[in-house]
Structure 1
Amino acid sequence: MKRKSHYPYWFMLPAISVFFVLFIVPTLASLYFSLTIWDPFEARFSGFENYVQFFSEPFLVRGVVNTVGFAIVTCVLKTILGLLLAVLLTSGVWGQGLLRSIVFFPVLVSTIGVGLLFQEMMHPTQGAINVALSWIGINGPGWLTNPSLALFSVALVDVWRGVGLATLIYIAGLATISPDYYEAARIDGATRLQQFWRVTVPLVWPATTTVVMLSLISGLRLFDLVWAMTRGGPGFSSDVLASVIYKQYQSGFWGLSTAGNVILFIMIAVIIAPLTYWFNKREVES
């Protein structure tokens, strides 16, 4: 019997080495330092003290709640709007190529640039949005100064910036659907709406899986847009977990900020892993 050669596995060694050095080692180091009170010169083991403190501070817990809510809202909006825009932009509408470029353009712009732009546009008195509303007799709200609106305003900007990618993924998914399915549905007397629900939605399920996963991960990890627009304010109303971690690091609570990083990693894994399994199972069943 011919002995199986291990020669091909040697080609995996560079990739494994890079993954080990750049992911496994930092992850294990973060786990250790999250259990310590540390600075650049020493680390004192403190057990789970950082985690207890993290969940005992209301503004830190609010960052976790805001993160989950932000990720869910932006994911739902990007998924729905992305699918609807993709259907529109593959229907032969006039100026289809130009409209695709317009929808996708925000994806190419720097997130910090988008944040600074909308920070000016959403100024309560001089911003372009409220000035335009005043022309039609509407007194615009404080988009970024009202604690109940700040995070929602950032979420809308994130959807505006990210829906282009979701649309592009859905356009690619729609291109794989054979016209025969729609022809068969029309022969059976299905309306346009019935064709959408019975043909389009099930057959773009792989694209939906991709959009949902990317949107959720992006929403859970969001930092730059929040920091550029509100810096977590007013107060702590628009803080997300990443901005909370950054603030703790700025304040010198390095062990606490490292614990926040570990919490963020666990939260993403706990949310994404079951969802990935469920989506893949649904895809196989359909």
Structure 2
Amino acid sequence: MWFYLPGGVIYFVLFIIPTLVSFYFAFTRWTLFESFFVGFENFVMFFEEPGLIGSLWNTLIYGFVTSAAKVVLGMALAVVLSAPIIARGYLRSVTFFPVLLSSVGVGLTFQILLDPFNGLVNKVISGITGSDGPGWLTNPDLALLSVAGIDVWKGLGLATLIYIAGIAAIPNEYFEAARVDGATSWQVFRSIILPLSFPATSTVILLSLIGGLRSFDLIWTTTQGGPGFASDVIASVIYKQYQAGFYGLSTAGNVILFIVVTAIIYPLSRWMNSKETDL
């Protein structure tokens, strides 16, 4: 138990205490030097925000879309990169490279690449089709999904790495037995890789979903929640309140976000853990 103590102290100081303190300050109107207890006033005001329902819906869409895409694409890439192909190590490195990049740097770069008038992406589309490309980050119908696509590009390498580790952990005897029985590649994937890599799938889903529901930096650097409130998520609404000096209100928003993420992740995690024990 003594070996757990250093990590436990760090976890208590950096997570438990700030979480409890934030719950207290969510019920106050505070500044750096003073605070006044206001009860549930901050929560009432936060739920009266005109874009809150839309931002909550956007948060759920963003979280589930990015998570699902990383699961599907990560699994597909992992299967390919686990096969004996040429330059496999190099391709694995290239796939993982975007994970190492700063989210702010990625957001600013794609903001330039996806510019509707001078961006490289629309110039290529215009050169191929002869028509103007869409406003990826300026069209209210495309902005949120465009940022989600950038998020998938950046985080796909980590999902692929987790899946590669999961596939590598499958005993080779299963694949040998499948080859002896004359199983096709699809049958091997469906009957061996897919079910036996479920722990990796569980990890990718939980990490991607938590990251998607809490996402802020990539959205803020690309669209700042715009155009209008089209790509606003709960985290960006919280930041806007903080910018305006409503610290108690933004703290209440953080508590709401914590509750939303916990309400989704905790039962999902319990269900996935029960499925893993059944394997």
Give the structure-2-normalised TM-score: 0.95
Q: Give yes or no for contact 1:150–1:238 (8 Å, CA) kept in 2.
A: yes
Cα separation, partners in 2 of 1:134 and 1:200, compared to 1, 3 Å: same
Match status 1:258 vs 2:251: yes
Matched position secondary structure for 1:274: helix
Judge which range, 22-31 or 127-136, deviates more: 22-31
Aligned to 1:285: 278
1:225 matched residue in structure 2: 218
* CA deviation after TM superposition for structure 1 residue 14, in Å: 4.2
Offset at residue 218 of structure 1 (A): 0.9
Contact kept in structure 2, 1:173 and 1:207, CA below 8 Å: yes
Trace 1:1-286 onto structure 2 (pairs within 5 A).
9=2, 12-137=4-129, 138-286=131-279
Check the 8 A contact 1:54/1:61 in 2, yes or no.
Answer: no
Q: Which moved more, 1:153-162 or 1:89-98?
A: 89-98
Q: Which moved more, 1:176-185 or 1:122-131?
A: 176-185
SS of corresponding position for 1:195 = helix
**C-alpha deviation, 1:198, in angstroms:** 0.9
| More deviation, 150-159/172-181 | 172-181
Deviation at 1:284, TM superposition (A): 0.8
Q: Deviations over 1:64-86 (max 9, x none)?
A: 22111101000000011001000
Give the stretch that moved more between structures: 11-20 or 58-67: 11-20
Letter in 2 for 1:56: E
Instruction: Give the distance between the partners of 1:24 and 1:262, measured in 2 at CA.
Output: 13
Per the TM alignment, residue 110 of structure 1 is displaced from its structure 2 partner at its CA by: 1.1
Rate the CA distance shift 1:194–1:223 in 2: closer, same or farther, 3 A. same
Specify the SS of the correspondent of 1:37: strand
Distance 1:204 1:122, change over 3 A: same
Q: Which letter maps to 1:90? A: S
Q: Is the 8 A contact 1:74 1:159 kept in 2?
A: yes
Distance in structure 2 (CA, Å) of the matches to 1:213 and 1:17: 25
One-letter amino acid matched to 2:214: R
Structure 2: runs of 5+ lacking an equivalent: none
Q: State the distance in 2 between where 1:42 and 1:180 align.
A: 66
Q: Secondary structure at the match of 2:121?
A: helix
User: Helix, strand or coil for the counterpart of 1:58?
Assistant: coil
CA distance in 2, matches of 1:100, 1:165: 10
Whether the aligned pair in 2 keeps the contact of 1:121 and 1:127 (CA below 8 Å) is: yes
3-state SS in 2 of match to 1:190: coil
Distance 2:127 2:137 in 1: 21
Identity %: 57
The TM-score, its normalising length taken from structure 1, stands at: 0.92
Render the CA deviation track for 1:47-80: whole Å, top value 9, x for unaligned.
1121122222231222222111101000000011
Mapped to 2, the partners of 1:177 and 1:13 lie a distance apart of 34
* C-alpha spacing 1:12/1:100, structure 2 compared with 1 (3 Å): closer
One-letter amino acid of the structure 2 residue matched with residue 277 of structure 1: R
**1-side partners of 2:61 and 2:88: how far apart?**
34
Give the Cα–Cα distance (whole angstroms) in 2 for the partners of residues 12 and 182 of structure 1.
39
Bigger drift between 219-228 and 180-189 goes to 180-189
